[in-house]
Every structure is written in structure tokens, then in C-alpha cells.
Amino acid sequence: MKYKHAVAAVLLSAFSLAPLAQAVAQEPHHHAAAPTAAPAAAQRWAPDAPLSEGMRRAHAAVDELRHYEMGHMSAPMAVDRATSVEEAVTYMFAHCKLAAEPDAALHGILVPLLSAAQALKADPKKVGAVADMRAAIAHYPQYFNDPGWDQPVPVEHVMHDEP
């Protein structure tokens, strides 16, 4: 029962941070966002299955956004990929079961990731938000020992024009 209250608290705090994340995302960024919740672990933590799945989903969506950065994807499709990132983060907040220290490190990754996804959705002209998402995800292997993370993201070839 305590876990359900903890999940509710995490979700509540995550969603209450959304307006703050949007405000932060609207400020100019001169450097990549880095997790500030915890220093890099001497030994990386093992992710649970929901964390691995959620990060892979977010990673795949961000990887597809390379096409948007190059001008080969429409704004509505980019917004769709940013929505996929948001959904993956929401999934992780709801399903991950981590100890306090790795959870804090994870939040240091997910908050900037969510902020950048929301920034792109709010204004698709902010293409730099894709680089911010990629920078947030880049911190994941520094904190978590996720077997197979270094494998290429599965490529799903889809048309990059209007749906």
C-alpha cells in the first residue's frame, strides 16, 4: 500500500512540475542539461524492466527526431514523436520500482527529457529541444547498467510527411 502512495506522490510531483518544466524549456539553453539529483554512481544501477522499456521507447522516438532536425519530417510528426517521449516518461514514473538513490538519478534524467519534449510540442519551431532530449537520454548509461543499451535503436521506416 505504501508503494501506491509513493507512485501517486511521484506522479503528482511529476505533473506539478510540468508547468515549471515548460517555463525552463522556454529559456535559452547554452549547455546540455545534466542530472543534478545525484552524482554519477561508482557502480551503475540495474534498471527494472519498466525502466528499460520506457527508456528504449523514449530513445527510439528521440532518434526518429533526427529527421526533423534535418528538415525531413513534418512538424505534426515531430509533435507526435514528442508525445511518444512524454508517454514513455509517464510510463516510467508509473511503473518503475527503484530504490531512493537510483530513483533520484533517474528523475535527474527524466525531468529535462520531459521538459524538452513539452517545449517541442508547445512550439515545433524549437528544434533545439531535440538536442536537449538527446542530451538528457545520454546520461542514462552513466547511471544505469542496462544490457543492450548500446545496441542500435530499432528502425521503423515510416513516411516523414504529413500523416
Distance CA 158, CA 61 (A): 12
31-65 pLDDT, tens digit per residue, is 344 444 445 556 799 999 999 999 999 999 999 99
**pLDDT at residue 5 is higher than 50:** no
- Bridge partners, 144 (sequence order): 45
pTM: 0.71
From first CA to last CA, the distance across the chain in angstroms is: 43
Q: What confidence score (pLDDT) does residue 138 get?
A: 95
Q: What confidence score (pLDDT) does residue 42 get?
A: 64
At 148, the pLDDT band (50, 70, 90 cuts) reads confident
Distance CA 144, CA 151 (A): 15
91-142 pLDDT, tens digit per residue, is 999 999 999 999 999 999 999 999 999 999 999 999 999 999 999 999 999 9
Residue 155's CB: how many other CB atoms inside 10 A? 9
The helix/strand/coil state of 162 is: coil
